Structure 1
Amino acid sequence: MSNELAAARAAGRRQVSPALKGLGQWLRIPSISGDPAHRSDVMAAAEWIAARLARITDNVRIVGSATNPVVLARVRGRHVAGTTVIYGHLDVKPPGPGWSSPPFEPVRRGLRLFARGASDDKGQLMAHVAAVEAWGSVGGPPGDVVLVVDAAEEVGSPGLAATLTGSAGLTGGEISAIVVSDTKMVSAGQPSLTVSQRGMLGLDVRVSTRRPAVHAGRYGGVVADPTLVLASGLLSAARAVTRVRAGGDRAHSARAGAALSVTSCSSGTVPGSIPPAAKATLDVRLPAGVDPAAFLPVITAALRGTSDPRVDVEVACAAISMGLSMRHPADTRAAIDRACRLAFGKRAVEVPSGGSIPAVAMLAHAVGRAPILLGLGPPDDGAHGPDEHIDLADWAKSLDAAVCLLQLLPTRLDVSRGRHSIDLGTRLIHRGPSGPRLQGAVP
């Protein structure tokens, strides 16, 4: 280990306490991107991290996008060619019920810090920010570092691709690596390297009878029951998704295969009456090799295929993103392993992901290389649920790993070696309020 890296790691250890103090401030901001009532909070969270980054570089911008801002910062390195891009997001999901403490009041219990966003993704991103700060305190990182902080990841990152394309002055140059920490460890103290993520369809289904609620005793069996029609469509859609899995999904984990989840479902509210409508929200996950745009008409037909002629079945696509599989060249994988061994005492384990992060595909498309998805969240982190948290001992090790990566990652490109293997499928499609919108073809 070089003297330079040893000094940066020592600075990283000194940075743990002030970084966690700052993280606590950031977690108190309820930056819920999916709720218009919290738009000012999202901007406040963007301004907070921009001010934090301004302490180590004067090249910081808050860039407007389709819905929420993107914070971009460039930290100049000392002597190494190539730029490392670090991506993370500041927006969070609504807290929901079941919390044992207020979700936006960080609480420490033992070695766990509880708050919405503690793991997904403010806490994981803050480890990388603190690593850059540690390098800054010993003269600056070896090479340039660009930080991309998304304020709309939880709603599909609309506008991010355009922001990346239109910010060449900040993100331009020879980008040698992209690091994303927005996934989980496989077990306590065991970091993971995600090598695939699933594609995703978010669907809203509504069955309407074009009539008011009616008496179940007088009209039962006479009029169409929209709830039963919806249930039949859901079962048909589930069978269509199952056939995708049976039709050649080679993923080595069920989490990487096709799956349909009904995340909300509602119909009548008055006992004894047949409701006029029923609706459901579906989350469909597809293997990396399946184009969600091509599967959309298949599942739409399944949802509509068993419908009663007395009802209308509407299927709206609220979100769609491409899955991808990634392979890293040997020198990149060796750098990841070395950083994890130094910090955790063990190499990162390769895992497929059941999640879908549209921003990862956008970054891969924009830069032309596979992002490094280094999972630093606890395996039971509670992301998107109650009592989300980070493990403070592992978080300190994550900061150390991030410090090491900034020196160990390869810094020069060699296109003749076929460095990265990325399977993005045929297109990237972004969330839109009126249905899917093609963003552009992937070469």
Structure 2
Amino acid sequence: MSYEQHPNDEAVTHAAQATIPTALADLGNLVRIPGIAWPAFDQTNLQRSAAAVAALFEETGMFDSVEVKTAAIPGTDEHGQPAILATRAAKNGKPTILLYAHHDVQPQGDAELWETPPFEPTVRDGRLYGRGAADDKAGIMAHVAAVRTMKEVYGDDLDLGISIFIEGEEEFGSRSFAQFLSDNIDALRSDVIVVADSGNWDSETPGLTVSLRGNARFTLKVRTLEHASHSGMFGGAIPDAMMATVKLLSTLWAADGSVAVAGMTERDAETPEYTEATLRDEAGLLPGVSPIGNGTILSRIWNKPSITVTGIDFTSVEAASNTISPEVTVVISARVAPGQEATEAYAAMEAHLRANAPFGAELTFSDVDLGNGFLVDTSGATVSLARQAMHDAYGKAPVDLGVGGSIPFIADLVREIPGADILVTGVEDPHSRAHSPNESLHLATFQNAVVTEALLLSRLNAQTK
């Protein structure tokens, strides 16, 4: 990969590197705020988090306006969680870039599984540990550090337009995202969009995400009895709800663990080499446990559907008694292959479950949440510019990545801001353990990500629309 160096590249690189200590200190302060969008958690922490993020962008002195705003949740009387909107107008015919990340985080999960407190940032072995340290408060700080770099190198002479959108409910379904876009479209309209919520090939090799799976999540209640009954009196004659649920759920997968639902499609695309040993290392697969599915490992993660049971309501082990249960409720989360509509995949799953309900079990579907996947157009000049910036920052050519996760709101961005080049980047590496205990950020990766974004902003500033 070749690129004619811009006169400011060296200054930008040095300035970006110099921002890292302050950026990491600020990241630690953000990690200490447990901003979780689930209603069961203290929502004032999201207000604290939003105010802290807004202050970071305000302090750069680079924006015409910095606001904390909310938007209505369509179909309800509620508003979404606080988001940060900052704008800087382009000058002299330069493009505008929109930088996205989110400040809300996943719940901590089982505190006993954390080696250090989840909301107390801790550095060890070249990584910063803490909930949100990678997903996605590091994405926020990559944006802040890149803007600080522009301030240091260009000052008031920067002509590039910059908009900032830091969401507050991405981990809770981005319920007000589309409305927020619609309400603020004039401020958010841009030529380039950077979604800093993905990952890299490894801690040393950058990745540009070019495909994302969609998602289809829903709650399923399986009911077999009007009321609970004594297992000694009726066991063997009537189906308990758990047995019916286990038999029903087992039909979703083939013997090798691949999805066995007619109508859920796969994408045919080549994938880079990725060994089972790497999978075991990065995913923590136990020695005696085999991978599931068929085809190349990355095709299973990037290009094929998956179905996971992520929650269940049933009698706890401590409260277990000799009782035949009347109902079981589960949450099913499916990843949908890129190119298939989430509505189509959900319809296929619902039809499959209804057709396979054992013993005539009564099924109820609710809380359906759907999001489409995304395929990036990699032919544009901005994608080339991003790849070049990654190469120069990391010293390695980037890998085009598919991602098994979902960022459904990208479809909203495409709809509301047509024609914008969308770059899906990130600061995570395969050992970041986002959503899991002991989430962490690789510090060298973070520095390279900051340099990448600063170089991208500087080089966009040299272009005209």
TM-score normalized with structure 2 length = 0.83
Q: Which amino acid counterpart does residue 249 of structure 1 have in structure 2? A: R
Deviation at 1:342, TM superposition (A): 1.7
1:281 aligned to 325, 328, 331, which one? 331
Q: Within 1, Cα distance between the matches of 2:353 and 2:14?
A: 58
Aligned-pair identity in percent equals 27
2:203 corresponds to which residue?
A: 188
CA contact (8 A) 1:193 1:348 kept: yes
Q: Does 1:305 align with 2:382?
A: no
Q: Which amino acid counterpart does residue 395 of structure 1 have in structure 2? A: F
Deviation at 1:171, TM superposition (A): 2.0
Q: Within 1, Cα distance between the matches of 2:175 and 2:68?
A: 15
CA contact (8 A) 2:32 2:120 kept: yes
2:136 corresponds to which residue?
A: 121
Q: Within 2, Cα distance between the matches of 1:353 and 1:5?
A: 30
User: SS where residue 200 of structure 2 aligns?
Assistant: coil
User: SS where residue 25 of structure 1 aligns?
Assistant: helix
Pairwise mapping of residues 67-146 of structure 1 onto structure 2 (< 5 A)? 67-76=80-89, 79=92, 81-97=94-110, 98-138=113-153, 139-140=155-156, 141-146=158-163
1:255 corresponds to which residue?
A: 301
Q: Does 1:206 align with 2:221?
A: yes
CA contact (8 A) 1:87 1:147 kept: yes
**CA shift in 2, pair 1:168/1:54, >3 Å:** same
**CA shift in 2, pair 1:182/1:285, >3 Å:** same
**CA shift in 2, pair 1:142/1:36, >3 Å:** farther
Please list every run of 5 or more consecutive structure 1 residues that lacks an aligned counterpart in the other structure. 414-443
Deviation at 1:7, TM superposition (A): 2.7
Deviation at 1:106, TM superposition (A): 0.3
Q: Does 1:384 align with 2:428?
A: no
Q: Does 1:233 align with 2:237?
A: no
Deviation at 1:238, TM superposition (A): 3.4
Pairwise mapping of residues 12-411 of structure 1 onto structure 2 (< 5 A)? 12-55=16-59, 56=61, 57-65=63-71, 66=73, 67-76=80-89, 79=92, 81-97=94-110, 98-138=113-153, 139-140=155-156, 141-172=158-189, 175-238=190-253, 241-243=259-261, 249-252=267-270, 253-256=299-302, 257-269=304-316, 270-307=320-357, 311-368=361-418, 369-409=420-460, 411=463
Deviation at 1:353, TM superposition (A): 0.9
Q: Which amino acid counterpart does residue 260 of structure 1 have in structure 2? A: I
User: SS where residue 114 of structure 2 aligns?
Assistant: coil
Superposed CA RMSD:
2.2
CA contact (8 A) 1:156 1:359 kept: no
Cα deviation, 1:102-160, whole Å, max 9, x if unaligned, reads: 10000011311001001110012211211111111231544111111010111121111
Cα deviation, 1:391-410, whole Å, max 9, x if unaligned, reads: 11121111111100102248
Question: Which region of structure 1 is more displaced relative to structure 2, 368-377 or 264-273?
Answer: 264-273
CA contact (8 A) 1:364 1:370 kept: no
Q: Which amino acid counterpart does residue 31 of structure 2 have in structure 1? A: L
May I ask how many residue pairs the two structures share in their alignment?
A: 411
Q: Within 2, Cα distance between the matches of 1:321 and 1:412?
A: 34
CA contact (8 A) 1:87 1:180 kept: yes
CA contact (8 A) 1:142 1:406 kept: no
Cα deviation, 1:185-227, whole Å, max 9, x if unaligned, reads: 1112111111111111111111123433222121112222111
CA contact (8 A) 2:138 2:427 kept: no
User: SS where residue 74 of structure 1 aligns?
Assistant: strand
Q: Within 2, Cα distance between the matches of 1:58 and 1:338?
A: 30
CA contact (8 A) 2:128 2:441 kept: yes
Q: Which amino acid counterpart does residue 213 of structure 2 have in structure 1? A: R
Deviation at 1:10, TM superposition (A): 2.4
Q: Does 1:9 align with 2:16?
A: no
Please list every run of 5 or more consecutive structure 2 residues that lacks an aligned counterpart in the other structure. 74-79, 271-298
Cα deviation, 1:356-395, whole Å, max 9, x if unaligned, reads: 0122222222212341012321221010001111111121
Deviation at 1:265, TM superposition (A): 3.0
Deviation at 1:248, TM superposition (A): 5.1
Cα deviation, 1:218-257, whole Å, max 9, x if unaligned, reads: 1112222111211222123336943558855314321121
CA contact (8 A) 2:393 2:448 kept: yes
Q: Which amino acid counterpart does residue 169 of structure 2 have in structure 1? A: A
**CA shift in 2, pair 1:142/1:378, >3 Å:** farther
Question: Which region of structure 1 is more displaced relative to structure 2, 399-408 or 207-216?
Answer: 207-216
2:274 corresponds to which residue?
A: none
Deviation at 1:311, TM superposition (A): 4.1
Q: Within 2, Cα distance between the matches of 1:132 and 1:286?
A: 35
